[in-house]
């Protein structure tokens, strides 16, 4: 080798050595002591989480060497490659996904200008190529040393959350603290999974709450996983630990389209599309006042009984989630007679409306199972805005242009009948079981209004007459509001055939910049 060649070789070796040294520094994050502290809390590190989430060997990192640019408070003396967030792309069961994972071992995962820039870069790329974004949040908040530059970084992320909304699915996993302005990025994503006892979300923490309002509250009570999956509906699932959250995210990802242009994913299934389910013929109790579990209907209709329920602990009077028919994703909305008799109220309306809008944005067909006695009465509902909140669900169904198949299993009363994907809201195929009752209200209430002043015996006679006349699906069917009264055992077959028919459905709403949903 010539001396010149030797020099080039030496330089290459030195550069490779430097690269490996910097890469090792990036991989160590805040150092072994902080990694051990993370493990002691029962939490994985940022990189360990990505190893569980993504297919083995698929992660390709970007910006591993990025450092902060802060010049105040002695920060130039403390620079760590990667600056507190690991970003890049990988695959989940072979499908592309972009990811960022905040590293609590580096400055407590605090967001700096450069940290935010890294997140924005992968979100921009995801938007360009049409692939989902999964964010693993574990951050102490804004990096105080950077002041307004850190806040600007947050706002840059927020803007991309908005730009990506309805274009690519966005999933947030809250795996540690997420407080102050940081909460608004996950809040604008499509779904949020939290980890019990180690993650929390709130705008102002317990100390500030105590100072301002004198309320004494723990972090968990104020913004923990249980609080947000039961009371507030901010989060969709509360997971036991990091591993469960990451494995559920992998399972959930399989239901999601890559983008609003890609169509729903499909997986092989051995479950026959025309499978009959005789047990459904005897599911509805003889007494109209007796409940049954709508989960049973859903699981007996979808492929292999797989139903990924979302927000199972909030507003249990309505069920939402994903299943598959003939291997293709469908969104499912269903009244749940076991909870509040399946009535619609403020919480259930909001829960279902957002889900319907997600499905519509990503061209996911919607299957609706209806057993609804009406809207929940009472001053609490009225004074808290049931009119406006109920209208959200109505609006969501009415504007949706995806295939919509509705099955009325039992009650469909009053305005709630209209709201639940009725024919009048452009339902494509509206089926009813023979047990369906489609009417303005129940027989007893109707008779009390129509035939005021009758004796108890006379009212009983009129109630029986009303039930015989209206407590069935045939009046609605005679008007074309129900397309067919079907055998319960053939529900899966009917839905599968309907989805085949509707695969090339084309329907557009009038041109508008955007609608003005009653928020």
Token pair listed for 42: 């029962």
What is the C-alpha separation between 458 and 287, in angstroms, rounded?
22
CB 499 within 8 A of CB 326: yes
CA nearest to 364, candidates 492, 265, 254: 265
- The residue from 181, 205, 316, 445 that is catalytic is 181
**Long-range CB contact pairs, 68-77, < 8 A, 24+:** 68/112, 68/113, 68/114, 68/115, 68/143, 68/146, 69/112, 69/113, 69/114, 70/112, 70/113, 70/143, 70/145, 70/146, 70/149, 72/145, 72/146, 72/147, 73/145, 75/145, 75/146
What DSSP string runs through 166-234? TTS-EEEEE-SEEEGGGGHHHHTSSEEEEETTT-EEESS-HHHHHHHH-----HHHHHBHHHHHHTS-S
- The residue from 416, 443, 471, 477 that is catalytic is 416
Which region, left, alpha or beta, applies to residue 436 given φ > 0 means left and ψ of -120 to 50 means alpha?
beta
What is the C-alpha separation between 266 and 329, in angstroms, rounded?
7
CB 358 within 8 A of CB 337: no
What is the C-alpha separation between 337 and 289, in angstroms, rounded?
9
What is the C-alpha separation between 256 and 97, in angstroms, rounded?
11
Token pair listed for 311: 């927000």
- The residue from 130, 147, 327, 415 that is catalytic is 415
- The residue from 180, 223, 323, 390 that is catalytic is 180
CB 157 within 8 A of CB 116: yes
Token pair listed for 342: 């399946």
What is the C-alpha separation between 343 and 240, in angstroms, rounded?
31
CB 492 within 8 A of CB 280: no
Question: Is 416 part of the annotated catalytic residue set?
Answer: yes
Q: Which residues are catalytic?
A: 180-181, 415-416
């Amino acid at each position: 080798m010539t001396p010149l060649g030797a020099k080039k070789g030496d330089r290459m070796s030195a550069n490779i050595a430097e690269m490996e040294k910097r890469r090792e520094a990036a991989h160590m994050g805040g150092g072994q002591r902080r990694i051990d502290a993370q493990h002691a809390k029962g939490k994985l590190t940022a990189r360990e989480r990505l190893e569980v989430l993504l297919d083995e060997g698929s992660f390709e990192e970007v910006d591993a060497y990025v450092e902060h640019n802060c010049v105040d408070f002695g920060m130039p003396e403390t620079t760590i490659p990667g600056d507190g967030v690991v970003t890049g792309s990988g695959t989940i069961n072979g499908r592309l996904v972009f990811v960022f994972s905040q590293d609590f071992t580096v400055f407590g995962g605090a967001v700096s200008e450069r940290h935010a820039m890294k997140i924005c870069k992968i979100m921009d790329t995801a938007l360009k190529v049409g692939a989902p974004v999964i964010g693993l949040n574990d951050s102490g908040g804004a990096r105080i040393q950077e002041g307004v530059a850190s806040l600007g970084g947050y706002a840059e992320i927020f803007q991309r959350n908005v730009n990506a909304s309805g274009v690519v699915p966005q999933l947030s996993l809250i795996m540690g603290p997420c407080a102050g302005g940081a909460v608004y990025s996950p809040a604008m994503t499509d779904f949020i999974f939290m980890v019990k006892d180690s993650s929390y979300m709130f705008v102002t923490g317990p100390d500030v709450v105590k100072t301002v309002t004198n309320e004494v509250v723990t972090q968990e009570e104020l913004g923990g996983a249980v609080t947000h999956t039961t009371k507030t509906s901010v989060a969709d699932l509360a997971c036991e630990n990091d591993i469960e959250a990451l494995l559920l995210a992998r399972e959930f990802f399989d239901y999601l389209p890559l983008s609003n242009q890609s169509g729903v994913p499909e997986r092989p299934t051995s479950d026959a599309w025309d499978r009959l389910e005789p047990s459904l013929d005897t599911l509805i109790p003889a007494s109209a006042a007796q409940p049954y579990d709508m989960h049973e209907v859903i699981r007996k209709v979808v492929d292999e009984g797989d139903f990924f329920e979302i927000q199972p602990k909030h507003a249990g009077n309505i069920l939402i989630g994903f299943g598959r028919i003939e291997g293709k994703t469908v969104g499912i909305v269903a009244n749940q007679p076991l909870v509040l008799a399946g009535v619609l109220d403020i919480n259930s309306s909001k829960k279902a409306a957002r889900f319907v809008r997600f499905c519509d944005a990503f061209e996911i067909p919607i299957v609706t199972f209806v057993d609804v006695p009406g809207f929940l009465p009472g001053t609490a509902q009225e004074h808290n805005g049931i009119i406006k909140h109920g209208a959200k669900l109505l609006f969501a169904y009415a504007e949706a242009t995806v295939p919509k198949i509705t099955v009325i299993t039992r009650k469909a009363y009053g305005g709630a009948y209209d709201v639940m994907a009725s024919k009048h809201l452009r339902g494509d195929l509206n089926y009813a079981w023979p047990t369906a009752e489609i009417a303005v209200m129940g027989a007893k209430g109707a008779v009390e209004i129509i035939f005021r002043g009758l004796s108890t015996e006379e009212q009983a006679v009129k109630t029986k007459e009303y039930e015989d006349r209206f407590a069935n699906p045939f009046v609605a069917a005679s008007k074309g509001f129900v397309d067919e009264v079907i055998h319960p055992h053939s529900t899966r077959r009917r839905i599968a055939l309907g989805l085949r028919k509707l695969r090339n459905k084309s329907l557009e709403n009038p041109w508008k910049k955007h609608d003005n949903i009653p928020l």
